[in-house]
């Protein structure tokens, strides 16, 4: 395998793994936080406004870790700096 | 496939580029500004009012209430900044129902600009409320060791604000693009509807997070107000005078 193939394979495989594994933990965390919020909503319906707002903000915080992974894998696929480097080198020759 | 609307270029002359992000951003600004100007041209204080005025009043009072619930004492003061953030991000994602439109928030430059606005506004409001000395002192609380961590958190949350909004908007457009090639008819519509919901939630979160950051920066050390919070907002000024 030449360098180009190695870079292409590594980028594609790692992009998949990044999103796949990177969304696992946030999904578990979001599930736990929603479950906790639902049970506290059932216990105290009066505090629904506060609980919902805090839940949304917390979910956004948790979700952003998954979004980081997604952005990284999108960069690996569509705007890969290593790939561009190799293409430029091949073009220069 | 495009990663962002930056890559659609309408007009180019030398290094000057007019891409879709700029065009749609200015279009949205025009619609929001001219629309609210036209609506607020003839406001009525009586019982009879136009339906557009009703709409604007609902929006403005809703934002005001949310800001107040976060813990900012005078929502009027922050309404301009936070309300603009919310309305722009919400309008940017709601307009995706228009064919041919690309949300400008799907470009990292737009969201970075919005996040930088928050980054600048937090110390601005903090210094205005607490004074320069007190605000700078809040960086070394509780001990001096926390100074680098406070600075890092300030920078990283700005980055997080920008990347979160960008990632959500971009992923929405990307998923619709991918689904269009696989299952062209039904599923893209469902995902578009879901994208509208995500866009509203992201707009809400963006402005609420900005409000939370500002509230953390402007918190003046004073005794907690009484539980009857309904009246506390009205005589807030008296209380400030009283507690000094």
Instruction: Report the range of poorest mean pLDDT among A19-28, B69-78, B111-120.
Output: B69-78
- The answer to whether the Cβ–Cβ distance between A53 and B164 falls below 8 Å is no
Q: Which tokens is A38 given?
A: 């639902």
Between chains, do A70 and B204 touch, taking CB under 8 Å as contact? no
- B167 contacts in chain A (CB < 8 Å): 64, 67-68, 70-71
Choose, out of A23, A71, A83, the residue to mutate when testing the contact with B (most B CBs < 10 Å): A71
Task: Confirm whether A6 is domain-assigned.
Answer: no
Is the confidence at residue B228, as pLDDT, over 60? no
| Residue A5 within any structural domain of the chain | no
Residues of A in contact with B174 (CB under 8 A): 74
Residue B222 pLDDT > 70, yes or no? no
Whole-angstrom CA distances from B151 to A25, A72, A81 are 27, 25, 29
Per residue in B99-110, pLDDT (tens digit) is 888 889 988 899
Cβ of A79 within 8 Å of Cβ of B3? The answer is yes
pLDDT in tens, B53-71: 889 999 999 999 989 888 8
Q: Distance between CA B146 and CA B151 in Å, rounded?
A: 9
Tell me if A34 is assigned to some domain.
yes
Task: Report residue B107 as tokens.
Answer: 């470009």
Nearest CA in chain A to B212: A57
Average of pLDDT values for B25-41? 92
Q: What is the pLDDT of residue B1?
A: 61
Low-confidence residues of chain A, pLDDT below 50? none
Are residues B201 and A64, on separate chains, in Cβ contact within 8 Å? no
CA distance B39 to chain A (A): 30
Kindly provide the residue ranges of all beta strands, DSSP E only, lying in chain B, ordered along the sequence.
Answer: 9-13, 16-19
Please tell me the distance from the alpha carbon of residue B201 to that of residue B205, in angstroms, as a whole number. Answer: 6
Interatomic CA distance for residues B125 and B214, integer angstroms: 7
Predicted pLDDT of residue A36: 95
Q: How far apart are the CA of B167 and the nearest CA of chain A, in angstroms?
A: 6
Query: Could you tell me what percent of chain B has a pLDDT over 90?
Result: 28
Closest Cβ opposite residue B167 in set A56, A67, A78: A67
Which tens digits make up the pLDDT trace of A63-85? 888 888 988 898 888 888 888 88
The total number of residues written for chain B in this structure? 244
With CB atoms and an 8 Å threshold, state whether A64 touches B171: no
Q: Which of B3-17, B29-43, B109-123 has the lowest mean pLDDT?
A: B3-17
Number of domains in chain A: 1
Nearest in space to A29 (alpha carbons), one of A64, A59, A73: A59
From B138's Cα to the closest Cα of chain A, the distance in A is 23
* Ramachandran area for residue B14 (φ above 0: left; ψ -120 to 50: alpha; else beta): left
Residue A24 lies in a domain: no
pLDDT digits (tens, 9 = 90+) for B44-53: 888 888 888 8
**Does the residue A18 lie in any domain?**
no
The C-alpha atoms of residue B173 and residue B111 are separated, in whole angstroms, by 15
State the average pLDDT over residues B201-228: 78
Residue B204 reports pLDDT greater than 50: yes
Chain A residues in contact with B202 (beta carbon < 8 A)? 60
Q: A76: how many CB neighbours lie within 10 A of its CB?
A: 21
- Residues B185-207: what's their mean pLDDT? 88
Categorize the per-residue pLDDT at B244 as very low, low, confident or very high, splitting at 50, 70 and 90. Answer: very low
- Structure tokens of B92? 């940017």
- For B218, counting Cβ atoms within 10 Å of its Cβ (0-12 exposed, 13-18 middle, 19+ buried), the class is buried
Does residue A14 fall inside a structural domain? Answer: no
- CA–CA–CA angle A84, A87, A93 (5° rounding): 140
Q: Does the beta-carbon distance from A60 to B3 stay under 8 Å? A: no
pLDDT at B221: 58
**What is the per-residue pLDDT for B232?**
47
Find which of B2, B3, B71 to mutate to test the A interface (most A CBs within 10 Å of its CB).
Answer: B3
Q: Give percent of chain B above pLDDT 70.
A: 89
A23 found inside a domain? no
Instruction: Count contacts between A and B (CB, < 8 Å).
Output: 44
Nearest CA in chain B to A70: B167
Q: Do the chains contact at B163 and A67, CB–CB below 8 Å?
A: yes
């Amino acid at each position: 395998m030449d360098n180009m193939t190695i870079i292409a394979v590594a980028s594609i495989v790692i992009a998949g793994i990044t999103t796949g594994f990177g969304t696992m933990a946030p999904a578990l965390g979001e599930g736990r936080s929603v479950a906790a919020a639902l049970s506290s909503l059932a216990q105290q319906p009066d505090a629904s406004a506060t609980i919902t707002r805090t839940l949304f903000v917390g979910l956004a915080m948790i979700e952003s870790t998954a979004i980081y992974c997604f952005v990284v894998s999108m960069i690996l696929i569509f705007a890969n700096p290593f790939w561009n480097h190799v293409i430029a080198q091949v073009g220069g020759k | 496939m495009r990663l962002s609307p930056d890559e659609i270029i309408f007009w180019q002359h030398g290094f000057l580029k007019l891409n879709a992000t700029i065009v749609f951003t200015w279009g949205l600004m025009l619609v929001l500004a001219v629309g609210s100007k036209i609506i607020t041209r003839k406001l009525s204080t009586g019982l009879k009012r136009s339906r557009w005025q009703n709409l604007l009043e609902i929006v403005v009072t809703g934002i005001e209430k949310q800001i107040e619930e976060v813990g900012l004492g005078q929502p009027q003061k922050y309404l301009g900044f936070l309300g603009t953030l919310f309305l722009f991000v919400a309008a940017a994602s709601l307009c995706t129902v228009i064919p041919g439109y690309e949300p400008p928030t799907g470009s990292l430059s737009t969201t970075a600009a919005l996040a930088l606005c928050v980054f600048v506004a937090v110390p601005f409001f903090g210094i205005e409320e607490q004074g320069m000395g007190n605000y700078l002192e809040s960086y070394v609380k509780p001990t001096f060791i926390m100074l680098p961590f406070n600075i890092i958190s300030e920078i990283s949350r700005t980055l997080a604000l920008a990347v979160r909004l960008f990632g959500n908007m971009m992923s929405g457009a990307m998923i619709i693009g991918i689904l269009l090639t696989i299952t062209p008819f039904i599923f893209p519509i469902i995902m578009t509807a879901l994208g509208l919901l995500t866009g509203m939630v992201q707009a809400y979160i963006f402005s609420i997070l900005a409000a939370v950051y500002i509230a953390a920066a402007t918190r003046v050390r004073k005794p907690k107000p009484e539980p009857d919070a309904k009246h506390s907002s009205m005589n807030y000024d008296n209380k400030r005078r009283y507690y000094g």
